Amino acid sequence: MFSGAQVSLYPMSDDFVGIILEAIKALDPYRPTFRIETDDISTLLVGPPDQLFPAMRDLFVSASRHGPHCVLAATVSRGCPGEPDDPICTPIADVNFDKPLPERIAAALGAVEAAPRMGQSVAAQFSLYPLGSGHHMDEIYGCIEFLKHSGVFDKSKNFCTKLRGDAGPVFATLSEAFLRFGAPQGHVALDLKVSANSPTAV
Residue ranges for the known binding site for thiamine are 9, 43
Q: Residue 94 or 202: which CB sits closer to its own copies?
A: 202
- 153 is an interface residue for its own copies by CB under 8 A: no
Enumerate helices (H) and strands (E) in the chain, giving the number of each: 5, 8
Burial class (CB in 10 A: 0-12, 13-18, 19+), 191: middle
- 134 is an interface residue for its own copies by CB under 8 A: yes
Among 1, 131, 145, 184, binds its own copies (CB under 8 A): 131
Q: How far apart are CA 162 and CA 127, in angstroms?
A: 9
Among 140, 152, 170, 179, binds its own copies (CB under 8 A): 140
- 84 is an interface residue for its own copies by CB under 8 A: no
**Span of 3-11, 57-65, 95-103, 167-175 interacting with its own copies by CB under 8 A:** 3-11
Whether the CB-CB separation of 49 and 88 falls below 8 Å is answered with no
Closest CA to 193 of 161, 165, 166, 148: 161
Residues sharing a CB contact under 8 Å with residue 76, sequence separation 6 or more, in sequence order? 4, 5, 52, 178, 189, 190, 191, 192
**Span of 50-58, 110-118, 169-177, 185-193 interacting with its own copies by CB under 8 A:** 185-193
Please work out, in degrees rounded to the nearest 5, the angle formed at the alpha carbon of residue 46 by the alpha carbons of 24 and 104.
Answer: 105
Chain residues binding its own copies by CB under 8 A are 4-6, 8, 10-14, 16-17, 39-42, 44, 46, 69, 71, 73, 75, 77, 80-83, 123, 125, 127, 129-134, 136-137, 140, 157-160, 162, 187, 189, 191, 193, 195, 198-202
